[in-house]
Amino acid sequence: MLQTVKPKLHPDWINPHALKVVKKLQSKGFLCYLVGGCVRDLMVGINPKDFDIVSSARPRQIKKSIPNAYIIGKRFRLVLARRGDLQLEIATFRRNKTAEDLLDISENEPEITGDNYFGEPEEDAQRRDFTINALFYDPFKNEVIDFLTGKEDLKYKNIKIIGEAKTRILEDPIRIFRAIRLAHKLSFTIDPDLQKVIHTNSDCILESILPRRREEFIKFLKLKNPSAAFLQAKDLGILKHIAPTLDKALDNEEFVLRLREKPESLNHQSTAQLFSFLIWAYYRSEINSDPYKAHSGKELLANEDLMQLMKIELGMFNYEQAMACKAFSMQANFENFTQLNKKEKDVQSAKNAFPVAYLYSLMDQSHSASTLTTINQYIDYEK
């Protein structure tokens, strides 16, 4: 019987390009570790998608040591090294600004700009968001370095913030979204004290900007069960401040059930299709449950509640909004698709909304298997 082997802290599960970077910087005499999400995921048996690296080397030293690498950022300078489709982020250990730093500025020393106060590994760990994200791993010594309680919190499946919870949440309210997402990605529990702080200070999420919230909503939608994360955000009082339409929709059991039925294949599709999945769930539960009777795209784009959800709350781009809405009309007419000649089929399938309309049909199970098979032949999965 074939058994599935879970990832673990072993070089076989670490991207060889990341190992080469760590080895190179260590050979130059610098401290260098894998850090953050990749270490966390490997320790719980998840294959990481990204490998972040942290070192005592300064950005210019990293760039000089690593081929095909370049420095980015002003506020937070780090080095990017591209290796095929993989992009490695190599940062320098950071520390918080101190009173001595301010004194140096007053004595005509050059001011360090942004968040570029370099420090020691322990200082760097204290600056990270959650204890389980503050673990360093040396793949050549096979050593996990934990300055906090990261290993213990992984063992007990606990999402605990570093430092005083209220201070850290008010410092960056997006950490609320990250805590919720990690809890549902890993099947962990948010620390009770942190939950209480989030609920009590839920209005601080208004201080976050829409583009950052958009990215977090996309990450919610990539979860196996997005409905659970959205419901917890509602229960913690977050959504009523920034997404009242979505908050209200989550009172509708049908909407929640549809969110729960997310196709696994969506994780590999575009953000437009991920958002379209949520809009499909909203449309079917709040506007029109009949897949053969669709409003026109223009009519839907004039719907105030739908536009509030898409544009103001989720931060969907204009083309994403148009694609999601137009697909409903296209889906309703799919039974006629098989009757078209090849040229007409080519014209229809070239439209941006075509793959989304096909997605809607799959989720609604609204068309015959033969019709869906014919349509599938015209889907360009490389787009």
Determine the longest span between alpha carbons in the chain, in angstroms. Answer: 80
- Give the tens place of pLDDT for each residue, 99-136: 555 555 444 444 445 566 889 999 999 999 999 999 99
Spatial contact of 38 and 19, defined as CB atoms under 8 Å apart: no
pTM, two decimal places: 0.90
**pLDDT the model gives residue 374:** 86
Radius of gyration of the chain (CA): 24
Helices 192-200 and 174-186, packing angle to 10 deg: 140
Per domain, the residue ranges of the chain are 11-97+114-154, 278-383
**How many other CB atoms are there within 10 angstroms of residue 43's CB atom?**
19
Q: Do 5 and 110 touch, CB atoms closer than 8 A?
A: no
Please tell me the distance from the alpha carbon of residue 159 to that of residue 195, in angstroms, as a whole number: 10
Catalytic residues: 50, 52, 129
Mean pLDDT (the chain) is 90
218-232, 259-273, 346-360: least confidently modelled range: 259-273
Position 56 pLDDT exceeds 80: yes
Q: So what's the pLDDT on residue 77?
A: 86
Q: Band of the pLDDT at 1, cuts 50, 70, 90?
A: very low
Q: In what side-by-side order are the strands of the sheet with 86-92? A: 69-72, 78-83, 86-92, 52-55, 32-35, 136-138, 143-145
Per the model's pLDDT, the better-predicted residue between 268 and 208 turns out to be 208
| Joined tokens for residue 113 | 């700009």
The DSSP code for 55 is E
Instruction: Provide the phi-psi class of 68: left if phi over 0, else alpha when psi is between -120 and 50, else beta.
Output: left
Cβ 324 vs Cβ 309: under 8 Å: no
Distance CA 112, CA 91 (A): 16
Q: Which residues contact 262 (CB under 8 A, 6 or more apart)?
A: 221, 224, 225, 226, 277
pLDDT per position as a tens digit, 4-44 = 677 888 888 999 999 999 999 999 999 999 999 999 999 99
- Looking at residues 266-289, what average pLDDT do you find? 91
- What pLDDT, on a 0 to 100 scale, did the predictor assign at position 110? 47
Rounded to an integer, what distance in angstroms lies between the CA atom of residue 232 and that of residue 216? 14
pLDDT surpasses 80 at 289: yes
pLDDT band for position 160 (cuts 50, 70, 90): very high
- The arithmetic mean of pLDDT across residues 184-198, rounded, is 97
Average pLDDT over residues 320-329: 94
CA gap 368, 365 in Å, rounded: 8
Q: What is the predicted pLDDT for the residue at 103?
A: 52
CATH of domain 11-97+114-154: 3.30.460.10
